[in-house]
Amino acid sequence: MATSVPVTLPNGLTYEQPTGLFINNEFIPSSDGELIASINPSTEEVIAEVHAASIEDIDKAVISSRKAFKEVWKNYSIDGISRLLHKLADLFERDREILTSIEAADSGKPQISNASGDIDECVLQFRYYAGWADKRGGTVAEATSDKLGYIVHEPHGVCGQIIPWNYPLAMASWKIGPAIAAGNVIIIKLAENTPLSMLYVGKLIVEAGFPPGVINIVAGHGKIAGNAIATHPGIDKVAFTGSTLTGKSVMAAAAQTLKNVTLECGGKSPMIVFDDADIDQAVKWGHWGIMYNMGQNCSSTSRILIQDTIYDKFVDALVKYTKETYSVGDVYDATKHHGPVISKVQFDKILGYVESGKEQGATLAFGGKAPYEKGYFIEPTIFSDVTDEMKIWKEEIFGPVVCLSKFSTEEEALYRANDTTYGLGSAIFSADISRCLRVSRELDAGTVWINSSNDTSHRIPFGGFKMSGIGSELGQYGLDNYTLKKAIHVNIGSKL
């Protein structure tokens, strides 16, 4: 059965697309022959069909990974690990045009304004964690004439990683970088909607020189392949990014073998705009914080609380700015900054939320429609006069829909911002730095942006409070997810 097909993308680029399961540095067919169709959300047409991993295929991947860890990787040169990550970064830079073109077709990301930035992020992640590969050592806790006590940081071994469809390459890099730098081997399960770009990366992994089995990549259905990864006794740790609902399922499944679990889940992040804020900047950041990536961002600041004295001014300014930057269309057109949402399911769900907002009495200030007959395009959408009991205020929409509401006092803003089961991101806009620091301490969120929104950094940890997740990714803290701490007590002279 074929494990690659020639593909010509809508921008004219032709390349060979791997479609098999990438196990042991080879593309192989699935054991049961099941395929998943990858659909271009701009055209609603099939790009390619890829092999879907069965439980038996996950077993193959685990056998490959365990063999690689035990026989090769566990004692691999730390300098060699660093060089491999740098080489992978080099190859991402070299193949930027191919990777961004695939990502644009497969996920609906505008190639220049969106997918290109994801490649930059991947390169930064790989280079950053390449620098950490020889620094994971440990610490000395006690050193006396009688005793030496020290702690070493060891890899878990085989790590299962389940990545989402909204950032196929970027989210993979968030997990590959620290896991590999910490000395683990990995099995990555791709989202059903967006398998193509990471399967192409399989070729780059071979070219970079990674030993077989160190990085295995499989497409597959969550209920089959994802569940098999979460429950498999041969997998030592699971890292998941996706919805809170699925995160609960992963955690429950992993509990069967008491796996170490990292979860980065959903959000309904607030942005608070005080009356002394720079309104022009607050509007621009507010637009970016929800509309980037078509709102398909777990930390999107989708609830904006505006102080009542500037509320009308802010609403008018946001609508005006959105109209001026309104550019929905061809993802290969550099002048377009807003592509389609990922799928028909997501398209219908988002438009359902739009109807709910209107029915419950919110004011549709802008957008809310599908501008084209073909493709899953939705206009940037702004609801004003939203109240806390409305469905669009409480639930994660995961689309280009922002909810605006007014507040009077700092205490009210904080209460309403925190009145959610989520706790991923948050933002504050004010010229008063004392107030910003005070409010940031009171917000129940893993990240607080002051006078910005969703400007993450590969050096700074990212993680959620409450039902937005467990653990942090990125930065030095991201390495903690992938290491075990072993205490070693050396008796030098003490006698019983």
Cβ(182)–Cβ(155) below 8 Å: yes
Which residues are known catalytic residues? Answer: 264, 298
What is this structure's pTM? 0.95
Q: Looking at residue 1, what is its pLDDT?
A: 73
Q: Which residues of the chain have pLDDT under 50?
A: none
Q: Looking at residue 43, what is its pLDDT?
A: 96
Which stretches of 268-426 are assigned E, i.e. beta strand? Answer: 270-273, 303-307, 363-366, 381-384, 401-407
Q: Looking at residue 137, what is its pLDDT?
A: 83
Q: What DSSP designation does 211 have?
A: P
- How far apart CA 455 and CA 91 sit, in angstroms, is 25
Q: Looking at residue 289, what is its pLDDT?
A: 97
Q: Looking at residue 2, what is its pLDDT?
A: 87
What average pLDDT is seen over the chain? 96
Q: Looking at residue 319, what is its pLDDT?
A: 98
Burial of 160 (C-beta count, 10 Å sphere; 0-12/13-18/19+): buried
Pairing of strands 158-162, 237-241: parallel
Q: Looking at residue 378, what is its pLDDT?
A: 97
Q: Looking at residue 471, what is its pLDDT?
A: 94
For 109, phi then psi, to 5°, come to -75, 130
Cβ(195)–Cβ(162) below 8 Å: no
Helix axes 78-94, 196-208, angle to 10 degrees: 130
Determine which helix (DSSP H) or strand (DSSP E) holds 164, and give its type and residue range. none
